[in-house]
Amino acid sequence: MELGRRDLVAAFLGTAVAQAACRRGSRTPRPIPGELVDRQVEVGHLLRGAPPPIAPGPPRTVDVLVVGAGIAGLCAAWRLASAGIEDLVVCELDSEAGGTARSGRNAVSAFPWGAHYLPAPRSDRGPVARLLRELGAITGVDAEGRPSFAEQLLVREPEERLFYRGAWYEGLYLRAGASAADLAELARFEAKMDSFAAWVDGKGRKAFDVPSGKGSDDAEVTSLDRLSMAEWMDAEGYRSSRLRWLVDYACRDDFGARAEHVSAWAGVWYFAARHDGKTKSAGYLTWPEGNGRLVRQLATAVGPRRLLTSALVHTVEPGEDGCRVHALDARTRAPTSFFARQVVFAGPRFVAGRVLSPWRKAPPGFLAEFQYSPWVVANLTLSAPPPSRGFPLAWDNVLYESQSLGYVVATHQLERADDSGPTVLTWYYALAGGDVRAERARLLSAGYSEWEQLVAADLAPAHPGLDALATRLEVWRWGHAMVRPRPGFIWGGARRAAEESLGARVHFAHSDLGGMALFEEACFFGVRAAERCLAGLGRAGESWQ
């Protein structure tokens, strides 16, 4: 056992994993063949370097240009296309649409590169439910407007399991060995979240709703934003290590940051927004490729003609009667220019500061307030399901003593009964420390071989001999994966200032505007920006929201 591996594992995954994985003696597991598949460095260079050349000749004129084909950009384009806007272009710098909801595919299965599920909406109104109807995922609606969903799209049982000291247990809360006091605290916490979920303000708004902007702005609720989730737990007297673990895990999983660095408002939102405290929520919708399925649905609705991939927008210049938009082909560097009557900027804030020409010289103060957690997603292909002790392989498989977020099984939702064949595990890791710059440096300091060792060491205690089954590993490092809802951010001035359009022609859409990286937030802002464009074009109709 060379010291290097142990230190590496301890630094990223914690000492418990290092002990468990590296005590297993001098035999370093067989390295898994594979590679890094992210290309963030090149693209970053293109934006930061000297302004690229601009296409000679007249620009192509369009009604609306959408920058970015993440969920927000695609939802904006879908809204516009549904309103009959023909003259529409979406520029996406990546070779495929999707952004952080992108997916991949190999001979065994499709798999996610980022977002992998969508919580089933509570109501059949709004754009998310509309999209699901178009996809055929909603099969009916009951008298109270609650939709029902196609069974095969809801996460099937067994849903979650947790590994602790040698065996797997059902669920994400570590019940095995929990004391009566632990369980009482869990019950108290759940009751508290139910009461938050049921809380409604004078205007009939839920305390926490989806998208978050629909929720109450009553000070009783928004004051939570001043504390971190960890401070709030302290103040409420939650001390059980198992409950604290669950909450910290939830913060890392949903926001990519530890409970100390997440606003208590956002932390509670996670537990209280998706139900009303009385009826159970319908669960999660998921596909082998994760939200990549929703990307495909949106991209089809927008139409491949209107989607320009490998197109990096480097300059947006708002003018009197329209915007000049300059892009270049990310592979060939060939320039293109557009003249757009309306622009939806659906990239994140840190890109906006470099692309919008007025902001290059005088960046608005709010830009610096947006911070993003880095993440790593690794897809591991196995020739057979990993053998394990205790509760059987589930959809979501989490390791109690690791800093990783465990893995999701891509083949879990396949329409077949036999689960004994090859599979793909999607492993997630958030760099959840307080200083996002330092975390980003840490992310990039590790290359393929380090991440390979980390994935292998992380899974080794739970699945001895896994390396014999592993056929390929692909690793994606996301430098700016998720906006971070730090304390004070959600209800602070910066986030709200960033929601405003730039003049009458540039409208913003991205999940970072909501302060939480979620499908519903991206969709909300995408549709809203599209509806602002429609108003600007004199084609306003009924809102979808």
Partner 1 sequence: MNRSLLFVTVLVIATCGLVYELVVGTLASYLLGDSVTQFSTIIGVYLFAMGVGSYLSRYLERGLARRFVDIELAVALLGGTCAPVLFFSFAWPAVFRLAVYGMVLGVGTLVGLEIPLLLRILKDQLKFKDLVSQVLTFDYLGALAASLLFPLLLVPRLGLVRTSLLFGLLNAAVGLWSTWLLEPALGGVKLLRVRAGLVCLLLAGGVVSADRLNGWAEAQQYVDEVVHATSSPYQRIVLTRGARGFSLFLNGGLQFASVDEYRYHEALVHPAMVRAANIKKVLILGGGDGLAAREVLRYPEVESVTLVDLDPEMTSLAKSYADLAVLNGHSLENPKLHVHNEDAMRFLADGDEEFDALIIDFPDPHNFSVGKLYTTRFYELVARHLAPGAVAVVQSTSPLFARQSFWCVDATLRAAGFWTEPYHALVPSFGEWGYVLAARAPPARVRDLPKGLRFLSDETLPTLGQFPLDMDRVPAEVNRLNNQVLVRYYEDEWRRWN
Ligand X SMILES: Cc1cc2nc3c(=O)[nH]c(=O)nc-3n(C[C@H](O)[C@H](O)[C@H](O)COP(=O)(O)OP(=O)(O)OC[C@H]3O[C@@H](n4cnc5c(N)ncnc54)[C@H](O)[C@@H]3O)c2cc1C
The secondary structure of residue 90, as a DSSP letter, is: E
At closest approach, how far in Å is the CB of 397 from partner 1?
A: 14
CB of 159 to partner 1, least distance (A): 8
Is residue 67 involved in binding ligand X (CB under 6 A)? yes
Kindly tell me which of 22 and 517 has the beta carbon lying closer to ligand X: 517
The nearer residue to partner 1, 280 or 437, going by C-beta atoms, is: 280
Q: Is the alpha carbon torsion for 355, 359, 363, 368 positive or negative?
A: negative
Smallest distance from the beta carbon of 282 to partner 1, in angstroms?
9
Alpha carbons 263 and 265: distance in angstroms, whole number: 5
The torsion defined by the Cα of 315, 318, 319 and 323, in degrees rounded to 10, comes to 70
Place of tokens 């009303």: 276
Cβ nearer to ligand X, comparing 67 with 299: 67
| Residue in 46, 167, 198, 444 binding partner 1, rule: CB under 8 A | 167
> Between 73 and 112, how does the x/- string for binding to partner 1 read (CB under 8 A)?
----------------------------------------
Contact track, partner 1, 326-355, x by CB under 8 A: ------------------------------
Calculate the CA 308 to chain-centre distance. Answer: 23
Q: Quick one: what does residue 25 bind among ligand X, partner 1, none, with the CB cut-off 5 to 8 Å set by partner type? A: partner 1
At 368, the amino acid letter reads: A
Task: Give the nearer residue to ligand X in terms of CB position, either 258 or 510.
Answer: 510
Which residues inside 411-470 make contact with ligand X, applying CB under 6 A? 428
Q: Does 464 bind partner 1 (CB under 8 A)?
A: yes
- What phi and psi values does residue 101 have, to the nearest 5 degrees? -110, 20
Binding flag, residue 408, ligand X (CB under 6 A) = no
Q: Least CB distance from residue 389 to partner 1, whole Å?
A: 5
Q: Where are the alpha helices (DSSP H) in 277-382?
A: 292-302, 349-355, 357-361
In angstroms, what is the C-alpha Rg of the chain?
A: 23
* Positions in 110-169 near ligand X (CB under 6 A): 114-118
377 binds ligand X (CB under 6 A): yes
Q: In the bound complex, what is the minimum distance in angstroms from residue 146's beta carbon to partner 1?
A: 16
What track of x and - describes contact with partner 1 for positions 250 through 289 (by CB under 8 A)? ---------------------------------x------
Q: Which residues 6+ apart lie within 8 Å of 137 measured at CB?
A: 149, 150, 153, 285
First-to-last alpha carbon distance for the chain, in angstroms, is 57
Binding to partner 1 (CB under 8 A) within 8-67 occurs at: 23-25, 27
Site string for ligand X, 82-121 (x = CB under 6 A): ---------xxxx----xxx------------xxxxx---
Full DSSP string of 481-512: EEE---TTTTTSHHHHHHTS-BTTTEEE--GG
Full DSSP string of 169-235 = EESSS--TT--HHHHHHHHHHHHHHHHHHH-B-TTS-BSS-SSGGGS---HHHHGGGGSBHHHHHHH
Is residue 77 within 8 A of residue 88, CB to CB? The reply is yes
Tell me the site size for partner 1, rule CB under 8 A: 31
Please, what is the minimum distance in Å from the beta carbon of residue 498 to partner 1? 38
Q: What is the token pair recorded at 155?
A: 């996460």
Q: Is the peptide bond before 422 cis (omega within 30 degrees of 0)?
A: no
Q: Which of residues 495-524 bind ligand X (CB under 6 A)?
A: 510-511, 517-519, 522
Binding test (CB under 6 A) with ligand X, winner from 149, 269, 287, 375: 375
Q: Least distance (Å) from partner 1 to the CB of residue 166?
A: 6
Would strands 311-318 and 407-409 be described as parallel, antiparallel, or unpaired? unpaired
Sketch the per residue contact string, 330 through 359, with ligand X: x for CB under 6 A, - otherwise. ----------------xxx--x---x----
Structure-token match 């996002």, residue found:
436
Q: Which is nearer to partner 1, 169 or 524 (CB)?
A: 169
CA distance linking residue 454 with residue 195, whole number of Å: 40
The nearest distance, CB 71 to ligand X, in angstroms, is: 4
Residues 6+ apart with CB under 8 A from 309: 69, 92, 94, 95, 96, 97
Which one among 417, 445, 538, 542 touches partner 1, defined by CB under 8 A? 417
Coil vs helix vs strand at 293 = helix
Q: Which tokens is 339 given?
A: 């003249």
Nearer to ligand X, 407 or 428 (CB): 428
Enumerate binding residues for partner 1 (CB under 8 A): 23-25, 27, 151-152, 154-159, 166-169, 283, 387, 389-392, 415-420, 464-465, 468
Enumerate binding residues for ligand X (CB under 6 A): 67-73, 91-94, 99-101, 114-118, 312-313, 346-348, 351, 355, 375, 377, 428, 478, 481-482, 510-511, 517-519, 522
